[in-house]
C-alpha cells in the first residue's frame, strides 16, 4: 500500500515568515505523497481589526458571524493559502491550494446551537478521499485552508486540527497514513514552560491521567482528542512536534508519538 503523510501546521508558525519558511523547506524535503492543512494564525484577527470587524473568542474558538466568515475566507483561503502555495512552488513542490469546497473535498454542516452559537462554523460530515487521491496521482500536493462547505452552498469556518484528522482518516482507504501536527512547541509537554519536558509517548490511559491531573489542558485537549480519534479509525501513526523538528519527527522520533 502507498504511504501518505498528512501534516497540519498552525500556531505562531503561520505568523512568523522565517519559521514558516523553515517548516516549508522541511515539508518539501519529505519523500512520498503528502497533504498539508494550515491554520490562519493571527492574520485574520489583524485584517478584521483593520476593517473594523470585532473578533469574539469563546474558550479559544472564534465566533464566526457573516462579516468574520468573509474575513477568514479571504485570509485563510486566499492570502495565507496562496502564500504557502507560492513558497512551495519555489521549493519545487507542485502544490495546489484548496478549500474543502474545491472539488467537493470536505463537506460539513453548520454547527448546531447549544450553549454557544459559534455562527458559520462547520462540523465535518464527509471527505472525498477519491478526489484528493486524484490530485496526488497527478503529482500535485494538496494544501488545504480550513474552510469547508455545506449542501446549501454556504462556506463554513472549520477547525484545522479537525480537518487534518478527518482527511487523514478518510485517506486510509487508499494509503498507509501518518498524521503530524506541527506547531511552536516540541510536543506535548508535562510543563508548558519547560521545552525539555516532552512526553515522548502517549497512550489513551496516560492521556486520561494527565488530563485528570491538569497536566494536559486547554487547547491541547481538542488536538489530542482529534489525534486519538484518527488512530482509532485506522491512521497508522500520529506525531505532535515542533515545526522545526518535522524531519526529525518523521525519521528519528522527535516530539510526542501517540499510540493505542
Edge-to-edge order in the sheet of strand 237-242: 95-98, 141-144, 33-38, 2-9, 175-183, 237-242, 256-258, 201-202
> In CATH, what number does 2-258 get?
3.40.1160.10
N-term to C-term CA, the chain: 22
Instruction: Note the pLDDT of residue 222.
Output: 83
Rg (CA), the chain: 17
b/e per residue 39-60 (b: at least 16 CB within 10 A): bbbebbbebbeeeeeeeeeeee
Instruction: Note the pLDDT of residue 226.
Output: 86
Supply 91's cell numbers.
521549493
Compute the distance between CA of residue 28 and CA of residue 19 in angstroms, rounded to an integer. Answer: 14
Instruction: Note the pLDDT of residue 60.
Output: 67
For the chain, 260 residues long, give each residue's pLDDT as a single digit of tens: 799 999 999 878 998 999 999 999 999 999 999 999 998 878 899 999 999 998 888 866 789 999 999 999 999 999 999 999 999 999 999 999 999 999 999 999 999 998 889 999 999 999 999 999 999 999 999 999 999 999 999 999 999 999 999 999 999 999 999 999 999 999 999 888 888 899 999 999 999 999 998 888 877 888 899 899 999 999 999 999 999 999 999 987 799 999 98
The residue behind cell 485574520 is 44
Q: Supply the pTM of this predicted model.
A: 0.95
Instruction: Note the pLDDT of residue 179.
Output: 97
CA dihedral 250, 254, 255, 256 (to 10 degrees): 80
Instruction: Note the pLDDT of residue 18.
Output: 96
Give the Å distances, CA to CA, from 179 to 53, 115, 169. 35, 31, 9
Amino acid at each position: 500500500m502507498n504511504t501518505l503523510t498528512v501534516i497540519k501546521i498552525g500556531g505562531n508558525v503561520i505568523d512568523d515568515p522565517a519559521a514558516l519558511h523553515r517548516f516549508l523547506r522541511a515539508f518539501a524535503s519529505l519523500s512520498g505523497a503528502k497533504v498539508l492543512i494550515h491554520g490562519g494564525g493571527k492574520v485574520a484577527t489583524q485584517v478584521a481589526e483593520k476593517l473594523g470587524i470585532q473578533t469574539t473568542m469563546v474558550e479559544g474558538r472564534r465566533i464566526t458571524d457573516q462579516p468574520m466568515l468573509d474575513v477568514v475566507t479571504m485570509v485563510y483561503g486566499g492570502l495565507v493559502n496562496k502564500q504557502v502555495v507560492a513558497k512551495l512552488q519555489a521549493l519545487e513542490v507542485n502544490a495546489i491550494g484548496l478549500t474543502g469546497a474545491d472539488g467537493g473535498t470536505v463537506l460539513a454542516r453548520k454547527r448546531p446551537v447549544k450553549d454557544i452559537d459559534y455562527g458559520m462554523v462547520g462540523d465535518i460530515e464527509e471527505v472525498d478521499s477519491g478526489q484528493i487521491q486524484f490530485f496526488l496521482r497527478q503529482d500535485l500536493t494538496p494544501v488545504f485552508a480550513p474552510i469547508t462547505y455545506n449542501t446549501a452552498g454556504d462556506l463554513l469556518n472549520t477547525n484545522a486540527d479537525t480537518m487534518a484528522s478527518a482527511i487523514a482518516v478518510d485517506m486510509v482507504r487508499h494509503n498507509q497514513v501518518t498524521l503530524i501536527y506541527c506547531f511552536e512547541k516540541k510536543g506535548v509537554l508535562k510543563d508548558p514552560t519547560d521545552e525539555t519536558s516532552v512526553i515522548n509517548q502517549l497512550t489513551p490511559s496516560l492521556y486520561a491521567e494527565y488530563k485528570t491531573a491538569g497536566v494536559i489542558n486547554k487547547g491541547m485537549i481538542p488536538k489530542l482528542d482529534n489525534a486519538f480519534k484518527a488512530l482509532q479509525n485506522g491512521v497508522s501513526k500520529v506525531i505532535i512536534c515542533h515545526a522545526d523538528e518535522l524531519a526529525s519527527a518523521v525519521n528519528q522520533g522527535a516530539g510526542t508519538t501517540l499510540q493505542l
